[in-house]
């Protein structure tokens, strides 16, 4: 529950960054015509092209890396979350580090100051050790957290070691759901981010046109390349950490991903969708104005042609 609340608070604090990122990306998309114009103007001078693009973005408050901010955010919270997950006695139930070390010395367990999990597991599995620790006065019974949640022991580390799973299948077999959910929620979040971006629809249309006409095949921007790399690297990092750290850490990833998915959906309906609808409306207005202009030009041309033929026929009669 502490992990769930921590994740909600952290994600809540990053909402302004999500909003800012979404707005910056919409500005960038709104400048797509001007970007294309710059690329046409300087097709062979890449340096000049980049300078003009940067100038355009600065003048309009847009950024090529606007969409890359959010995927990096979970990395900044890795270390504080790691310490909380590794030291729940110290950071969640309030046992002092001195008392934790004293219990470790009393029970003959080393390194418990930096890793409370093995001490917690020992206290839960050994009644004599728990009684001894409580009687020493260094810890109270209500300060020993229950690491089980929905039948999963979040104090244990998931493993793919078949012999270890075979020794305690009731513990390690259910824990495999943690890495699976970490991977699935991460991939789904990345897909959602790419599909719900303001420029996603346009890029899809450009890709389809490029299949028939290579002239529409625009070079990939550095921000897009960074995003593609992140979409591969982040799931891999998350998956590896779930097999290297207690399951509570993987549980943090899952809750974080679910919160990220919710954020992305809300951002889409609050900003991206209205932007797309407004853009579509403006495009329709431009099309209608162009049609009206063409009709007016055609009517003027026909009227001019009619007058010309009338003059010619009048001369013949005379």
Q: How many domains does the chain have?
A: 2
Look up the domain containing 218 and give its range.
2-92+152-276
Burial class (CB in 10 A: 0-12, 13-18, 19+), 291: exposed
The residue count of the chain comes to: 318
Q: Which residue has the tokens 């900003």?
A: 271
Nearest by Cα to 257 from 160, 175, 172, 192: 192
In eight-state DSSP terms, residue 96 is: -
Residue 294 included in any domain: no
**Domain end marker among 80, 112, 144:** 144
Q: Which helix (H) or strand (E) holds 302?
A: helix 273-317
C-alpha neighbours within 13 Å on the C-beta side of residue 2: 16
Q: Own/partner pairs for 262-265, CB < 8 Å, 24+ apart?
A: 263/11, 263/14, 263/15, 263/18, 264/18, 264/189, 264/192, 264/193, 264/196, 265/192, 265/196
* 120 and 260 housed in the same domain: no
User: Residue 180: inside a domain, yes or no?
Assistant: yes
**Inside any domain, residue 307:** no
Same domain, 117 and 266: no
Report helix, strand or coil for 153.
strand
Q: Are residues 204 and 72 in the same domain?
A: yes
Chain centroid to Cα 175, Å, comes to 25
In a domain, 310, yes or no: no
Do 82 and 138 belong together in one domain?
no
Residue 243 near residue 157, CB atoms below 8 Å: yes
CA nearest to 254, candidates 196, 190, 192, 183: 183
Is residue 317 in a domain? no
For residues 35 and 60, membership in a common domain is answered with: yes
Residue 301 lies in a domain: no
Residues 181 and 116 in one domain: no
Q: Per the domain annotation, does 316 fall within a domain?
A: no
pLDDT in tens, the chain (318 residues): 777 887 888 777 777 777 776 666 666 666 666 767 777 777 777 777 777 777 777 776 665 555 555 556 666 777 777 788 788 898 888 999 999 999 999 998 888 888 888 899 889 888 999 999 999 999 999 999 888 888 888 888 899 888 888 888 888 899 999 999 999 998 898 888 777 776 666 666 656 665 666 555 555 555 566 667 777 887 888 888 889 888 888 888 898 889 888 888 887 887 777 767 776 777 777 777 777 877 877 777 777 666 655 555 555 554
Distance between CA 57 and CA 181 in Å, rounded? 39
166 and 217 part of one domain: yes
Distance CA 111, CA 117 (A): 10
Distance CA 152, CA 76 (A): 27
**Is residue 211 located within the same domain as residue 124?**
no
Whether residues 88 and 220 share a domain: the answer is: yes
In a domain, 289, yes or no: no
Are 112 and 44 in the same domain? no
Looking at the structure, do residues 125 and 215 belong to the same domain, yes or no? no
To the nearest 10 degrees (0 to 180), the angle between helices 127-135 and 97-107 is: 130
Q: Are residues 200 and 67 in the same domain?
A: yes
């Amino acid at each position: 529950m502490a992990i769930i609340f921590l994740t909600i608070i952290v994600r809540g604090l990053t909402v302004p960054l999500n909003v800012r990122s979404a707005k910056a990306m919409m500005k960038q998309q709104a400048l797509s015509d001007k970007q294309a114009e710059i690329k046409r103007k300087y097709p062979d001078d890449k340096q000049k092209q980049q300078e003009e693009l940067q100038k355009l973005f600065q003048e309009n408050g847009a950024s090529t890396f606007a969409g890359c901010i959010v995927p990096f955010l979970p990395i900044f919270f890795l270390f504080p979350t790691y310490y909380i997950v590794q030291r729940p006695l110290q950071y969640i139930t309030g046992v002092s580090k001195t008392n934790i070390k004293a219990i470790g010395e009393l029970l003959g367990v080393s390194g418990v100051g930096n890793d409370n999990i093995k001490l917690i597991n020992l206290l839960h599995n050994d009644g004599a050790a728990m009684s001894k620790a409580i009687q020493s006065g260094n810890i109270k019974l209500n300060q020993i957290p229950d690491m089980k949640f929905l039948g999963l022991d979040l104090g244990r580390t998931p493993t793919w070691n078949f012999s270890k799973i075979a020794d305690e299948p009731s513990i390690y077999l259910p824990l495999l759901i943690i890495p699976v959910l970490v991977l699935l929620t991460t991939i789904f979040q990345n897909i959602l981010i790419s599909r719900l971006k303001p420029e996603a629809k346009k890029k899809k249309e450009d890709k389809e046109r490029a299949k028939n006409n290579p002239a529409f095949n625009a070079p990939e921007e550095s921000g897009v390349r960074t995003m593609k790399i992140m979409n591969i690297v982040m799931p891999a990092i998350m998956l590896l950490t779930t097999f290297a750290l207690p399951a509570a850490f993987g549980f943090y990833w899952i809750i974080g991903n679910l919160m990220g998915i919710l954020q992305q959906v809300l951002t889409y309906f609050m900003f991206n969708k209205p932007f797309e609808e407004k853009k579509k409306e403006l495009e329709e207005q431009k099309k209608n104005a162009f049609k009206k202009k063409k009709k007016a030009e055609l009517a003027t041309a026909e009227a001019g042609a009619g007058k010309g033929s009338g003059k010619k026929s009048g001369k013949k009669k005379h």
